[in-house]
Chains A and B, each alone.
Chain A
Amino acid sequence: MIGCGIDAGSRAMKVVLMDAANRRVISAAAADQRPDQSELAIELTGQALKNGGVQPQDIKKTVGTGYGRRVLTQADTTITEITCQARGVRSLLPNAQVIVDIGGQDSKVIVLDVQGVRDFAMNDRCAAGTGQFLEMVAQRLGFSLAELGVHAARSLQPAVINSTCAVFAETEIISLLASGMTPEDISAGVLRSVALRVAGLSHPGSTAAVVFTGGAARIQGMDKFLSQALGQPVVIAPDPHLTAARGAALFACEQIEPGHRGRDE
C-alpha cells in the first residue's frame, strides 16, 4: 500500500510515493507549476508510479499540501506545508530544531518542539525574501537560477542591496548594473539580501540545529549566505525541494496505517 504526498508549490509541483509498510520513499517526481495544477499532479503521479514500478491502485491515500493544495482533485485530505515540512524534515533529521524554508513565493522559519511545530513565521506581502525574487534577478542578469549561485561564488565583494521590496530591489539592481558593478557581485549581494530577509523573520537561537529546505536550498552557496546571516551552521535537507511532499506522504501513510510509529525515523 502506498501513501502519496503532493506538494503543489507556487513555482513547482512535487510528488512523493511512499511505502506505507516501511515508510520508505518509492519514487518522486517534480516539475514547474502550470495553471492546470490538478492535471499536472496526475501526470507527475503517473511518472512517479512508472519510475517506482508500482500500480495506480496501490495508492491508498493522497495528502495534498502547498499553495495549491485545495485544488488537487485527487487529494483525500490537505495539510499545510508548514506541518508537512516539519514532518518531512523530522523524519530525515530527527534532531532538527529549526527549519528555514525558502520557496517560490514564501519564506518561512519553523520552530520545532518534541510535539511538532511550536511556532512559525512567514514573510508578509513581499517577495523580497523569496525564490521568485531570485528568479527575477537571475533573469535580469541573463542567468538561470542555478547559475546565480555559480556566479555569486566568484564574487570578491558582494553588492549591498538595501531595498526591502522586490520591485525597488530590481530598480536598485538596474542602477548597480549601470554603475558597472559585476554580475558576480550583484548575484552575491542578492543572495545575501535574501538570506538577511529570512534571518530577520525570526531568530532561531544561536545553538539550534537549523535545517534549510525549499527550492532555494538547491542554489549553490545559498546555504553559506544563510549561515552567515544567522551566525550559525545550516544543514541542507536531503532533496530539500521534496521535504514537504515527503511529509505529506508520511501523513498519507499514517492514514493508511494509523498508529504506525517510529519506523519512518
Chain B
Amino acid sequence: METADTPLTYFSQMIDHCYDYAESAKAQGRPIVGILCEFTPREIIFAAGAVPVCLCGGSLETIPAAEQHLPVNLCPLIKSTYGYHLQGTNPFLEWADFVVAETTCDGKKKMYELMSAGREMYILELPQKADEPDALAHWIKEVEKFKAYVEKKFHTQITDDQLRAAIRLMNRERGLRRELADLMARDLPPLTGRQLLDFKSIISGIDADLEQYEKAIRTFNAGAAVKTAAPGSPLDLSQSPPPVRVLLTGVPTVHGAERVVELIESCGAVVVAQENCTGIKPILEDIDPDAPDPLQAIAEKYYHLPCSVMTINERRLESLRTLAARFRPQCVIELVWQACLTYDVESKRIRRFVEDELQLPYLKIVTDYSPSDSGRLMVRIEALIETVLAKAAGPARQASR
C-alpha cells in the first residue's frame, strides 16, 4: 500500500499543485484560459501555448453571494461558480486571461451573460441536435471561430502541427485516466470511486500529473493484491459480502462537491463507474492526431459528448450500456443537482432504460451542495443496497419475507 498510495497522496494536494503550476505558468508568460464545460476543446488552448483551467464551482460557501443575483432555485454548480466570480475568491478565475463558455443549459448560458460584465468571456454556441449533420457543421464553424479568437487574443498562429501535438497530449491524458478508471472493473477494485475521483485535476496536461497516473497504474497492475482501500477511506474493499457495485450517472461531482460519492461509499458500496463529466464520460473517445483536418477531428470528438442538453441524447444510453457491460454494476444511482432541468427530465428515460434494458435497480438523488439532507439520502442509498443484497441472496429466501 505504501507505494500504491503515493499517487493518491499526491492528488490529495491537487488544488495546491494546480495553483503552483498556474502561478508559474503565468510568471513565464503563458496565458490562462478558464473553461466551464467539457465541450470546450482543450487542444486549441494548448496549441496556443495557454493553460486551460476548469472553473466549475463545487463550494457551498460561495452560493449565498451568488443568490443575490441569481434565483435560489438554480443548479448549485452554476451558483457556486458565479459566487466565486462575484467574490473574486477563485485565484484561477482571477488569473484567467479570458473565460470560454458554451451554450449548454439555459442556467449556465444566462449566468454567463451576468458574468461577462467585468470579465472577458468567449461563448461557443453548441448546437443541440446530436445527430444532425448541419448541427455538426455549425459546431465545426464554432470551433474554427474559437481558434481564430484564441489566435488573435494571444497574437499567435496555431499550426496543424501544434494541434496534433495537443491532441497527442490530451490523448495520453485521456488514455491514462481511462486505464485508471478501468481498474474499477476488477472484481475487487483496488480503489474507491472517491479516490478515483481525486485523480481528476482541474488543469489538464500537467506532466507531473501524468507521471503520477503512470506510477499509479504500474503499482496497481503490479498486483500486490490490494485488499483494502487506501487509508482514510470509509470503505473496506475486503468486506464480506463484497461492496455493492454502483454505476453513478448524471451531473458532475466537481472538486468540493463529492458528498454523494462519499455517502454512497460510506454505505458499503463502491462506485465502479462514473458516467458524468468528472468521471469517464468525456474521456471515452480519443482524437486521431493524424487526421487530415485536425481541427475538424477535434470538433467531432467533443460534439459526441452525451450531455443531457442534447436531443435526442441516445449516446448516453449507448455509453451506459457499454459501461454496464464493462464495470458490471449491481445498481445505478443517478445524481441530479437541484434545478438541473435537463438531467432531471432526462432521468425518466434513464430510469426506464436501466430498469428495462440493464435490468438493474435505479435510484435518483436530487440534491445540492448543502449537507442538510445527508441523513435522508443515506436512508435511500442504504435501502437500495439492502434491496440489491436481498435479491443477490436469492428469491427462495426472499419469497418467505
Contacts and interface: CB of A to CB of B under 8 A. Distances in A.
Given A83-B383, A122-B379, A124-B366, A262 B400 contact: yes
A117 B399 contact: no
Interface string B344-368: 0000000000000000010000110
Contacts of B400: 261-262, 265
A106 interface: yes
Interface of B: 361, 366-367, 372-373, 375-376, 379-380, 382-383, 386-387, 390-391, 395, 398-401
Nearest to A258: B397
B240 to A, nearest CB: 14
A22 interface: no
Most buried by A among B366, B373, B375, B401: B401
Nearest to A117: B387
Contacts of B398: 114-116
Nearest to A260: B400
Contact of B386 (A83, A106, A125): A83
Interface string A124-161: 11000000000000000000000000000000000000
A67 B382 contact: no
A29 B372 CA distance: 30
Contacts of B390: 83, 115-117
B399 A67 contact: no
Contacts of A7: none
Given A80-B386, A114-B398, A125-B372, 10 more contacts: A67-B375, A82-B379, A87-B401, A115-B390, A115-B399, A116-B401, A118-B387, A122-B380, A124-B373, A261-B400
A82 B378 CA distance: 12
A79 B379 CA distance: 9
B391 A80 contact: no
A114 B372 CA distance: 35
Interface of A: 67, 79-83, 86-87, 90-91, 105-106, 114-120, 122, 124-125, 261-262, 265
B396 to A, nearest CB: 9
Name the 6 nearest CB pairs between A and B, nearest first: A82-B383, A261-B400, A115-B398, A80-B383, A83-B386, A80-B382
A105 B379 CA distance: 13
B191 to A, nearest CB: 26
Nearest to B368: A125
A116 B388 CA distance: 10
Contact of A122 (B361, B376, B391, B401): B376
B401 A79 contact: no
B366 A114 contact: no
11 contacts: A80-B379, A80-B383, A82-B379, A114-B399, A115-B399, A116-B398, A117-B387, A117-B390, A122-B380, A124-B366, A265-B400
A115 B386 contact: no
Nearest to A106: B376
Given A81-B379, A125-B373, A90 B401 contact: yes
Nearest to B400: A261
Contacts of B380: 82, 120, 122
Contacts of A105: 376
A134 B373 CA distance: 21
B395 A67 contact: no
A79 B384 CA distance: 11
Contacts of A261: 400
Nearest to A112: B401
A67 B382 CA distance: 12
Given A80-B379, A122-B376, A117 B386 contact: yes
Contacts of B391: 115-116
A82 to B, nearest CB: 4
A94 to B, nearest CB: 10
Contacts of B361: 119
A234 B380 CA distance: 24
Contacts of A86: 401
